[in-house]
Amino acid sequence: MIYPIVMYGDAVLRKKAKDIDNGKDILVLVNDMYETMHAAHGIGLAAPQIGKSIRLFVVDGTTLEDEPTLKDFKKTFVNPVILNEDGEPWAFEEGCLSIPNIREEVERPEKLRIKYFDENWNPFEEEYDGMKARIIQHEYDHIEGKLFIDYLSPLKKRMLKGKLNDISKGDVDTEYRILAPLRK
Ligand code: NI
């Protein structure tokens, strides 16, 4: 099932999401999240973006031909905890399915260590760097109630205010179904 994607301005994107009970059957939900993400041509999707305030996100960079480092990067992160981040911060232009048609440079630390479960409740603890780390950081922010635009300067944020308002009203072009909080 493909869910509509929740747009900027919805309170669910600002909540700190809750852990999922260990052992709960989430296979259908995880499958739906992959389906929703692929339909929107995203490389990451967090549960709050489909209206569920739970600590779960999926990533899939395997279809990005210009990012060979991501060719095996398809993973489900359940109840993840970033244990530490380090390395030289680097900037990259990010986008978000909940903030369509806006891309801005965000600086993030190069490396991280994360523990998480997969969709079958197998535990992992791994290190990531570069683009994989960035995708994880962006999605992890979602379950913490944070968005990439939070990192922008006050000036940049002011400049985007009109566009963000339009997004909240559903006044934005997307190839996927959206749920806009201020749509009349
Ligand atoms: Ni996002």
**What is the residue extent of each domain of the chain?**
5-179
Residue 181 CA, ligand 1 centroid: distance in Å: 17
Which pLDDT value is given to residue 104?
98
What is this structure's pTM?
0.97
Q: Tell the CATH topology of 5-179.
A: Peptide Deformylase (3.90.45)
Catalytic positions? 139
Q: Which residues pair with 76 in a beta bridge?
A: 58
Residue spans of the chain under pLDDT 50: none
Q: CA 91 to CA 132: how far, in whole Å?
A: 14
Count Cα atoms within 13 angstroms, Cβ side, for 101: 15
Residue 173 CA, ligand 1 centroid: distance in Å: 17
Which pLDDT value is given to residue 63?
84
Which pLDDT value is given to residue 111?
98
Distance of CA 54 to the CA centre of its chain: 13
Residue 97 CA, ligand 1 centroid: distance in Å: 6
Which pLDDT value is given to residue 75?
98
Phi and psi at 93, nearest 5°, equal -80, 115
Residue 21 CA, ligand 1 centroid: distance in Å: 24
